[in-house]
Amino acid sequence: MPTTDYTLEWLLPYVRKGMRGTINFEYRIYTDAVLRAMHAAGVPGIVKNDHFHASTGNAFDERQIPDQLKQLIAEAHFHPFRHGYIAPAAADNYNNHPTWLKFNVTRSGREYFNDSEPIPEHARSYLEFLRQLVPKLDSVIDQYITEALKAFEREANFAAAVMVGAASEKAVYLLAASLLNALKPSRRRTALETALSKRQLFALLDCVRKTIEDLSSGSPAPIPYSASEGVSAHLASLFEAIRTQRNDAVHPMYATVSASSVRLLLHSFPYALSTTEKLRAWFDANPGSL
């Protein structure tokens, strides 16, 4: 049997896929669902029980499931509990403790299990997705996001927010430099040069946003729609990440960063970066054209 590196990160995508659309996280239902997902993927050791009957036994041959994998499946059952994606089912009498034999999927859990895109909780697949979406990923951005994912997994939300904000800031500086290269001598170019040289971030953000919006309007627009499609919304996402880093995460008067806000920032980052990188590529290919 081929050797498999059984880790929680390796198993969680099968948990997520197996429990998609399910609201009952009772352990028997959970294990069957996870094993079905692994069986469909051809994971070694997951073999159907030929003589299975729902009332008399297990759907999969337990003797062939590696012991290490059995233990990992048990461990993975409590991973979504720790993140608030499942919760013990309420007792019939509200005065009684919730039952610890049955778990239901929470509202945030439904989003977690039903979303098919790579998510921050799965750092390896998230990074693979980001690097595939942005093949020429800047090495500094890559490092910031890697650190953000590590911090997020350890529930260090302030640290994760700072790292996402720093990655977003680097992305905006790269975009501004490429935009500057695409501008002809003009008041626009002078304003952008000034904002870049002074390193006044929010002035730079406003200058980049306004310049791109102005050059993306009209018919025909100086920046073609194929290059600027969706850029306003994704720039807003990057700017929000920077705002969170600059204010909420590091300012002692705010200090309101939550796991859900960091998760949203991380979730949107690959798409925002991909959109701005597409625009950067157009700027770089058309120097002095705007």
118-160, pLDDT tens digit by residue? Answer: 888 888 889 999 999 999 999 999 999 999 999 998 889 889 9
Give 60's DSSP letter.
Answer: B
In 3D space, the residue among 73, 72, 94 whose CA is nearest the CA of residue 29 turns out to be 73
* Single-letter amino acid code for the residue at 170: K
pLDDT confidence of residue 1: 43
Whole-number Cα distances in Å, 34 to 27, 41, 70 = 10, 11, 11
pLDDT confidence of residue 3: 65
pLDDT confidence of residue 253: 64
Q: What SS3 class is residue 89?
A: strand
Q: How far is CA 276 from the centre of its chain?
A: 17
In the predicted structure, residue 275 carries a pLDDT above the cut 80: yes
In the predicted structure, residue 256 carries a pLDDT above the cut 80: no
Tell me the pLDDT tens digit for each residue of 42-88.
Answer: 999 999 987 765 555 688 988 899 999 999 999 999 888 888 889 99
Quote the mean pLDDT of the chain: 89
In the predicted structure, residue 7 carries a pLDDT above the cut 70: yes
Number of Cβ atoms within 10 Å of the Cβ of 112? 22
In 3D space, the residue among 63, 73, 88, 83 whose CA is nearest the CA of residue 34 turns out to be 73
- Note the pTM of the prediction, 2 decimals: 0.77
Q: What is the percentage of the chain residues whose pLDDT exceeds 90?
A: 58
- What number of CA atoms fall less than 13 Å from residue 113's CA on the CB side? 29
Tell me the pLDDT tens digit for each residue of 10-40.
Answer: 898 899 999 998 888 889 899 999 999 999 9
pLDDT confidence of residue 220: 83
Q: Say which residue, 254 or 26, is predicted with more confidence.
A: 26
pLDDT confidence of residue 100: 80
User: What radius of gyration do the chain's Cα atoms show?
Assistant: 24
pLDDT confidence of residue 286: 97
Tell me the pLDDT tens digit for each residue of 221-236.
Answer: 899 999 999 999 999 9
Beta strand spans in the chain (E): 86-89, 99-105
In 3D space, the residue among 236, 280, 12 whose CA is nearest the CA of residue 125 turns out to be 12
pLDDT confidence of residue 52: 62
Quick one: average pLDDT of 186-202?
Answer: 91
In the predicted structure, residue 264 carries a pLDDT above the cut 50: yes
